[in-house]
Amino acid sequence: MLPKLLILVGAWATLQADILSDKKVLLLPPVNFTIKATGLAQVLLRWHPNPDQEQRNVDLQYQVKINAPQEDEYDTKSTESKYVAPLHDGFAASVRSILCRSHYFLASNWVSAELKASTGSSGTSVMNLSCITNTVLSSHTHLSPYQVSLRCTWLVGKDAPEDTQYFLYYRFGAWTEGCHEYSRDALNRNTACWFPRTIINSKRFEQLAVHVNGSSKHAEIKPFEQLFTLHAIEQVNPPMNVTVKIEETSLYIQWEKPISAFPFDCFNYELKIYNTKNGYFQMEKLATNKFISKIDDVSTYSIQVRAVVSSPCRVSGSWGQWSQPIYVGKEKKPLAEWHLIVFPATACFVLLIFSFICRVCHIWIKLFPPVPAPKSNIKDLLVVTDYEKAAWNETRTEVVSCVEEAGFEVIENSMF
Ligand SMILES: *[C@@H]1O[C@H](CO)[C@@H](O)[C@H](O)[C@H]1NC(C)=O
Ligand SMILES: *[C@@H]1O[C@H](CO)[C@@H](O)[C@H](O)[C@H]1NC(C)=O
Ligand SMILES: *[C@@H]1O[C@H](CO)[C@@H](O)[C@H](O)[C@H]1NC(C)=O
Ligand SMILES: *[C@@H]1O[C@H](CO)[C@@H](O)[C@H](O)[C@H]1NC(C)=O
């Protein structure tokens, strides 16, 4: 008890002494404030404490204010600070010394510095830059079992000359890498880039910096930088090994987590059961990898699952791709389609055969003219066909007859 009391009294005395001395302190701004680009979309701000500052008992802090490209403000005890922002339109910041106590606040004047915007007109920069990442199984098993691929696309700047060529670089942490696999437009200008593997780690919180610069004989091409948040651009893979089993009137559905660096319990799922017979969708949001559904046993179902990384592991992004549909149920869908084609085809074939037979029978009549000469017209054919179909249905196939409109004579045909 006594030691605690002594500490409290001591702290109170120090505080009083601080306040008394601070009252006389005039805070001076830091000196030699510089801003230096240290990487793609990254700067290092540095300053020194003012050598003329009376520093007895004073623990100075600094307040940093970012003025461009976007306003931001933070405090630090250090005399240097890293900051991440697109730099193509320049960068400007100010810093001042501050002294913070519970009851008052002292601050020096601001000192400022800036980085100039990149040269070149902004119409020459790429537009609509967008990137997506995807996790794939690593081919180097001695490293991480997963690796991340990156794909970016953009539009050519509206004022870029026809001979413009663009180059893309990404930075993740301290690593910077240029693209080697470009896709080109009709004028042979790069408009997309593909990195089959990157050092991007989807479990880290850092932003991905992408830089696209360019060159042309006729104009200076202004570079363009953009920061991407990993959870916003990751295209989550579909769940693996979806299996569906029907037992009586229950549907047992099960799947594995997608290919991803995140473990099993980081995923939520959405299940879509589509009844192809009545067109009804059943959608389920699930935190498990199993689901049992009641079904009727006369319908066909198509089943798909998709995944999302859930919030305890990371800020939730968007839903991933749907798995390939799995069809289950009584009548198989492909079979139904097959019937649709085969029945009309058979009917046509039968009709053709009969019209042919009819022609033959007309010739036969001509050869052995019994009664009035047969007329060959469409109406005849239709009557004959209907009659023949009826005959077919009743399986009286041994006798095929031709009906003549004039007089309705029936000619026996023994061809069958
Ligand atoms: C500030 O920069 C000047 C010139 O570069 C240098 O002479 C001086 O020592 C620096 N001041 C501090 C406190 O580092
Ligand atoms: C490019 O982006 C602009 C604004 O961000 C948008 O209006 C335009 O539709 C986009 N163009 C294409 C082809 O996506
Ligand atoms: C584009 O940026 C990269 C990375 O900063 C640099 O190495 C390269 O020289 C630049 N190219 C052009 C044409 O500016
Ligand atoms: C998926 O099934 C295959 C073979 O059936 C198996 O080798 C693989 O390990 C399974 N994947 C998962 C994630 O369980």
For ligand 1, whether the C-beta of 32 sits within 6 Å is yes
Residues having CB within 6 Å of any atom of ligand 4 = 240-241, 256
Nearest atom, ligand 4, residue 256 CA: 13
Which domain covers residue 346, as residue numbers? 335-367
d(CA 100, ligand 1 centre) in Å? 27
Q: Which protein residue's CA is at the shortest distance from atom 10 of ligand 1? A: 32
Give residues with Cβ within 8 angstroms of 380, minimum separation 6.
Answer: 358, 374, 403, 404, 405
d(CA 368, ligand 2 centre) in Å? 81
**Res 26: pLDDT:** 82
Q: Which helix (H) or strand (E) holds 9?
A: helix 2-24
Q: 136 with 107, same domain? A: no
Nearest atom, ligand 3, residue 211 CA: 2
Burial of 259 (0-12, 13-18, 19+ CB in 10 A): middle
Residue 212 lies in a domain: yes
Residue 376 lies in a domain: no
- Rounded average pLDDT per 10-residue block, the chain, 416 residues: 45 46 72 97 96 74 96 96 97 94 86 96 96 90 84 97 96 96 95 96 93 96 97 96 91 95 94 91 94 86 95 90 91 52 62 64 54 48 42 40 38 39
Last residue of a domain, one of 115, 144, 166: 115
Q: 346 with 321, same domain? A: no
State which of 33, 36, 46, 48 you would mutate to test the pocket of ligand 1, scoring each by most atoms of that ligand within 8 A of its C-beta: 48
308-357 confidence digits (pLDDT tens): 999 889 988 899 999 999 999 875 445 555 555 555 666 656 666 657 66
Q: Which protein residue's CA is at the shortest distance from atom 14 of ligand 2? A: 128
Residue 409 lies in a domain: no
Query: What's the start-to-end Cα distance of the chain, in Å?
Result: 119
Residue 91 lies in a domain: yes
For β-strands 42-48 and 267-275, DSSP reports them as unpaired
d(CA 241, ligand 4 centre) in Å? 6
Q: 348 with 310, same domain? A: no
Q: Which protein residue's CA is at the shortest distance from atom 14 of ligand 4? A: 256
Q: 225 with 244, same domain? A: no
Last residue of a domain, one of 179, 207, 233: 233
**Res 209: pLDDT:** 98
Residue 61 lies in a domain: yes
Last residue of a domain, one of 68, 87, 115: 115
Residue 9 lies in a domain: no
Q: Which protein residue's CA is at the shortest distance from atom 1 of ligand 1? A: 32
d(CA 236, ligand 4 centre) in Å? 18
Q: 187 with 251, same domain? A: no
Nearest atom, ligand 3, residue 215 CA: 13
For ligand 2, whether the C-beta of 128 sits within 6 Å is yes
Q: Where are the beta strands (DSSP E) in 49-115?
A: 61-68, 72-76, 80-84, 91-100, 105-107, 111-115
Q: 143 with 226, same domain? A: yes
Nearest atom, ligand 3, residue 169 CA: 4
**Which ligand neighbours the alpha carbon of 154 most closely?**
2
**Res 396: pLDDT:** 38
Domain count, the chain: 4
CA–CA distance, 377 with 223 (Å, rounded to integer):
78
Q: Which protein residue's CA is at the shortest distance from atom 6 of ligand 4? A: 241
Q: CA angle 274-280-282, nearest 5°?
A: 60
Q: 135 with 219, same domain? A: yes
17-41 confidence digits (pLDDT tens): 454 454 556 889 999 999 999 999 9
**Res 60: pLDDT:** 86
Q: 93 with 156, same domain? A: no
Q: Which protein residue's CA is at the shortest distance from atom 14 of ligand 1? A: 48
**Res 141: pLDDT:** 64
Q: Which helix (H) or strand (E) holds 391?
A: helix 378-393
Q: Which protein residue's CA is at the shortest distance from atom 9 of ligand 2? A: 128
| Contact criterion met (CB below 8 Å) for 91 and 34 | no
Q: 245 with 226, same domain? A: no
State which of 125, 128, 153, 155 you would mutate to test the pocket of ligand 2, scoring each by most atoms of that ligand within 8 A of its C-beta: 128
Report the SS3 class of residue 371.
coil
**Res 373: pLDDT:** 47
Q: 249 with 173, same domain? A: no
Q: Which helix (H) or strand (E) holds 352?
A: helix 333-367
Plot region of 84 (φ>0 → left; ψ -120 to 50 → alpha; else → beta): beta
Q: 317 with 351, same domain? A: no
**Res 17: pLDDT:** 47
Residue 67 lies in a domain: yes
**Res 357: pLDDT:** 62
d(CA 168, ligand 3 centre) in Å? 9
CATH number at residue 173: 2.60.40.10
Residue 270 lies in a domain: yes
State which of 122, 127, 130, 153 you would mutate to test the pocket of ligand 2, scoring each by most atoms of that ligand within 8 A of its C-beta: 127
Q: 139 with 211, same domain? A: yes
